[in-house]
Amino acid sequence: MSEALLRPLEELAADLAGGRIRARQLAEEAIANHERHGGGLLAYSQWAPAHALQCAAAADAAFAAGSCAGPLQGIPVSIKDLFAHPGFATFAGSPRRLPPKFEIDGPVVAGLRRQLAVAFSTRPSWYSRMPLRRYASEKLGSICRAICSEILAPP
């Protein structure tokens, strides 16, 4: 089993851009991880591996054509259900699905899509309230801020 997804994002992005790894390989590894552990974690409210493989194919095709859409191109991501993502139901922390007019890209998801990130799923809002959130905030805060500033940067 490959453990590419355990590597730092900067290394993954460089290896994707340099052709040393493919977005499809990362997507398949993420799918395999979810198949092994996802049932017990209940981390995703919606899981779409076929969508992720399509995103990975688009990222790989862009890399093959010599195009780089941004530092998250080919990187697997899940999107919190507070953020609308076309093709995924949006609940925004509510037990009820929001009307379709709210299921359009906002700036964060539009940035991820523009950069050809590989979107797998949405995570329920309650998941962010778990104890892991504080740990992640402390350890990953600077990385998340850097990524968000890149995502929200004008094209």
Domain definitions of the chain by residue range: 4-151
CA 108 – CA 78 distance, rounded (Å): 12
CA 144 – CA 67 distance, rounded (Å): 24
What tens digit of pLDDT does each residue of 19-77 get? 999 999 999 998 888 888 777 776 777 788 898 899 999 999 999 999 999 989 999 98
133 neighbors 125 (Cβ within 8 angstroms): no
Q: Which residues of 61-80 are buried (b: 16+ CB within 10 A; e: fewer)?
A: ebbeeeebbbbbbbbbbbbb
The residue type at 97: R
State if pTM tops 0.95.
no
